[in-house]
Amino acid sequence: MKVLISLLSFAIFASVSQAEPFDAFVGVYTPSKSPEVQIQNSPTCNKYDFTQLQSFEVRADRTGFRQTHQLRINVPNGYSEISVVPEFKDPSELDPTVGSFGESDGDDQKAMTVQGSFGLNKNESLKLTIEKTDAGFKLTIANELKNAKGSILNACYYTAELKK
């Protein structure tokens, strides 16, 4: 009997430890307020047509390269997708000081994924976070371009209050 309980405990622990942060957020969300866009030194911030957001969807999808989930931003004229990937860093074969990176983290209250590129002079990143709030959920997307010292050259910040 003790062996059976030990095996069940291990199986439950193994399945819990394999969970990805976005598993707790799978579903379709709609805006409860008008989405907001903040611009910092950028000529435009209309990458997602975010002010026209109709819904945001988190789908468990492990079919793509390295991905665990697909995040879909639905607007009247189409959609944009962002893949959630586990931690990686891929330096270029020609120059290891440049390349791309990604990581995901979180728990059942908040999930985050960040992806981008790094280089000698500039680093670009896209960070998406969804979190539970008292009023529902909050979606935040930060798209930043930084110089080598980490100072922001330009950025677009997208925020939406959501309900499931």
State how far the Cα of 69 lies from the Cα of 125, in Å rounded to an integer: 18
Q: What is the pLDDT of residue 92?
A: 86
Instruction: Look up residue 97 and give its two tokens.
Output: 């000081």
Name the fold adopted by 21-163: Lipocalin (2.40.128)
| Residues found in the chain | 164
- H helical segments located in the chain: 2-17
Instruction: Look up residue 63 and give its two tokens.
Output: 């079919």
pLDDT tens-place string over residues 27-83: 999 999 999 999 999 888 988 899 999 999 999 988 867 789 999 999 999 999 999
Q: What is the pLDDT of residue 77?
A: 92
CA dist 29 to 59, 83, 85, 109, 130, Å?
Answer: 11, 17, 21, 15, 11
How many CB atoms within 10 Å of residue 53?
21
Q: What is the pLDDT of residue 143?
A: 96
Using the 8-state DSSP alphabet, how is residue 19 labeled? -
Nearby residues of 52 by Cβ (< 8 Å), 6 or more positions away: 75, 76, 77
Q: Where do the domains of the chain lie?
A: 21-163
pLDDT for 132 beyond 60: yes
Closest-CA residue to 22 (of 50, 54, 52, 62)? 62
DSSP reduced 3-state for 17: helix
pTM (global) more than 0.85:
no
